């Protein structure tokens, strides 16, 4: 089988490329990525001489290129996106361009070229926010209510994917998952930022009261879920993927990482809150469990420890990321 993976030089996409080639070494992957600040070819270095992996540097908004690369692949797994909420608050434009327009270009090309499957990777942020004083979770019936420009652009892309199924019968599947973490996570996001700041002797910027709750999903568990959806998922269906049964607050996450790195709570710095900050995310992943037999393999404690270990052992990778274009953005974001 030949797969087109978009965004395969980013965090989840690159983990998926590695996952797929480890599990299906005879399949072929075409990896289309624009290499924005979040794309990193160093992450794919070990695949340089692998004849089953072809990297193409390009934009999913480029109709001519997309139609060319999609031609001889069997299925499309679409990860490429602008993915960071804080950046979307500073400038929503690239989010609409890549997440909405780019998805449309891909859908159109998939339809014209008769693809067997288009799998769209999306987020639980399209559902909005839950409150702290209820046990409610996002489920298969939760209406869309996105808050950040990032979430709104992902919601727009999800609606387009469904429209291509309803209107043109393009064989699609969608997955909406919770916050991923693990190897090669870009250190602007909360968990890798916390780990790497502590390793550099810097403070950890905790937004607001630190009592925001997320449902963390280890990236390898996410890859396994997408694999199952590709193999056994029902065409036209959306699957919700989460990593936990009970969410955990940001400050509790920080305390666990401090413990793993033997650091004191003096490193915590409460900073100005994110505008429109969603209080709590939690997903009811019982449908994918009951229908496809998926459940997360790793507990949060277990996978957090693996993740911290990975960042300790791969200091060169994240130091090169942090010393690049990332710094300019970092200063702007935390200048208050
Ligand atoms: P990321 O920012 O780490 O990587 C995105 C990748 O897409 C980068 O390699 C980037 O170069 C590429 N890209 C961006 N614009 C492009 C364009 N126009 N053309 C081609 N390539 C382009 O993102 P991630 O965290 O790996 O997220 C991957 C997908 O998963 C996204 O669709 C995101 O919305 C979704 N998602 C992420 C999370 C999470 O916790 N990280 C959770 C739920 C859903
Ligand atoms: O829920 C899925 C989403 O998870 C994905 O769709 C997004 O692509 C991904 O970036 C992530 O969004 P979040 O906004 O939840 O992740 P982030 O790592 O930016 O923040 C996690 C929590 O930590 C959130 O409550 C904000 C907080 N935070 C974040 C940063 C960067 C801080 O307190 N301090 C920080 O410096």
Asked if the structure places residue 318 within a domain, the reply is: no
Asked if the structure places residue 205 within a domain, the reply is: no
Q: Ligand 2, atom 7: nearest CA belongs to which residue?
A: 83
Residue 25's pLDDT is 98
Decide: residue 166, CB within 10 A, 0-12 exposed, 13-18 middle, 19+ buried.
exposed
Residue 273 has pLDDT above 90, yes or no: yes
Residue 333 has pLDDT above 90, yes or no: no
Asked if the structure places residue 35 within a domain, the reply is: yes
Asked if the structure places residue 51 within a domain, the reply is: yes
Asked if the structure places residue 264 within a domain, the reply is: no
Out of 33, 59, 82, 150, the active site residue is: 150
Of 23, 27, 4, 6, which is closest to residue 223 (Cα–Cα)?
Answer: 23
Mark whether 150 is an active-site residue: yes
Q: What is the pTM of this model?
A: 0.97
Ligand nearest to C-alpha 11: 1
Mark whether 273 is an active-site residue: no
Residue 260's pLDDT is 98
> Any idea which of 102-106, 107-111, 217-221, 332-336 has the lowest mean pLDDT?
332-336
Asked if the structure places residue 321 within a domain, the reply is: no
Residue 3 has pLDDT above 90, yes or no: yes
Residue 336 has pLDDT above 60, yes or no: no
Asked if the structure places residue 272 within a domain, the reply is: no
Task: Tally the C-alpha atoms within 13 A of residue 179's C-alpha that lie toward its C-beta.
Answer: 25
Q: Dihedral through CA 40, CA 173, CA 143, CA 246, nearest 10? A: -60
Whole-number Å distance between alpha carbons of 126 and 190: 19
The number of distinct structural domains making up the chain is 1
Asked if the structure places residue 10 within a domain, the reply is: yes
* Average pLDDT of span 41-45: 91
Q: How far is the CA of 120 from the centre of ligand 1 (A)?
A: 11
CATH of the domain at 114: 3.40.50.720
Q: Which atom of ligand 2 is nearest to the CA of 213?
A: 25
* Average pLDDT of span 131-158: 97
Residue 332 has pLDDT above 80, yes or no: no
CB neighbour list of residue 189: distance below 8 Å, 6 or more residues apart: 11, 84, 181
Out of 59, 82, 108, 125, the active site residue is: 125
Alpha helices (H) in the chain, listed in sequence order: 11-23, 63-70, 85-90, 93-95, 103-112, 149-168, 190-199, 219-232, 250-260, 286-292, 300-313, 315-322, 326-333
Q: Is the CB of 281 under 6 A from ligand 2?
A: yes
Q: Is the CB of 127 under 6 A from ligand 2?
A: no
Range of the domain at 46: 2-183+216-242+277-299+327-334
Q: Which atom of ligand 2 is nearest to the CA of 83?
A: 8
Decide: residue 266, CB within 10 A, 0-12 exposed, 13-18 middle, 19+ buried.
exposed
Residue 324's pLDDT is 76
| 3-class secondary structure, 175 | strand
Q: Is the CB of 189 under 6 A from ligand 2?
A: yes
Residue 325 has pLDDT above 80, yes or no: no
Whole-number Å distance between alpha carbons of 302 and 306: 6
Residue 330 has pLDDT above 80, yes or no: no
* Average pLDDT of span 220-226: 98
Mark whether 158 is an active-site residue: no
Q: Which atom of ligand 1 is nearest to the CA of 150?
A: 34
């Amino acid at each position: 089988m030949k797969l087109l993976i978009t965004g395969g030089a980013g965090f989840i996409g690159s983990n998926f490329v590695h996952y797929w080639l480890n599990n299906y070494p005879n399949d072929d992957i075409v990896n289309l990525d624009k290499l924005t600040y979040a794309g990193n070819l160093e992450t794919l270095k070990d695949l340089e001489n692998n004849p089953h992996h072809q990297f193409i540097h390009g934009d999913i908004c480029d109709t001519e290129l997309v139609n060319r690369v999609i031609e001889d692949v069997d299925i499309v797994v679409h990860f490429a996106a602008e993915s960071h909420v804080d950046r979307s608050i500073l400038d929503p434009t690239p989010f609409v361009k890549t997440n909405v327009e780019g998805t449309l270009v891909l859908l159109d090309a998939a339809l014209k070229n008769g693809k067997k499957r288009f799998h769209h990777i999306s987020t639980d942020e399209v559902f909005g926010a839950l409150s702290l004083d209820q046990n409610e979770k996002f489920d298969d019936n939760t209406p869309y209510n996105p808050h950040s420009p990032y979430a709104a652009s992902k919601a727009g892309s999800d609606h387009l994917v469904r429209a291509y199924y309803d209107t043109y019968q393009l064989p699609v599947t969608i997955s909406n998952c919770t916050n991923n973490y693990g190897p090669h996570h870009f250190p602007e996001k909360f968990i890798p930022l916390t780990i790497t700041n502590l390793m550099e002797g810097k403070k950890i910027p905790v937004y607001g009261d630190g009592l925001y709750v997320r449902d963390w999903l280890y990236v390898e568990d996410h890859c396994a879920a997408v694999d199952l959806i590709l193999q056994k998922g029902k065409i036209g269906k959306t699957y919700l993927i989460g990593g936990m049964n009970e969410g955990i607050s940001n400050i509790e996450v920080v305390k666990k990482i401090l413990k793993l790195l033997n650091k004191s709570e003096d490193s915590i710095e409460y900073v100005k809150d994110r505008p429109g900050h969603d209080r709590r995310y939690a997903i009811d992943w019982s449908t994918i469990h009951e229908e496809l037999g998926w459940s997360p393999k790793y507990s949060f404690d277990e996978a957090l420890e693996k993740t911290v270990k990975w960042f300790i052992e791969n200091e060169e990778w994240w130091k090169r990321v942090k010393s690049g274009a990332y710094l300019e953005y970092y200063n702007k974001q935390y200048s208050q």
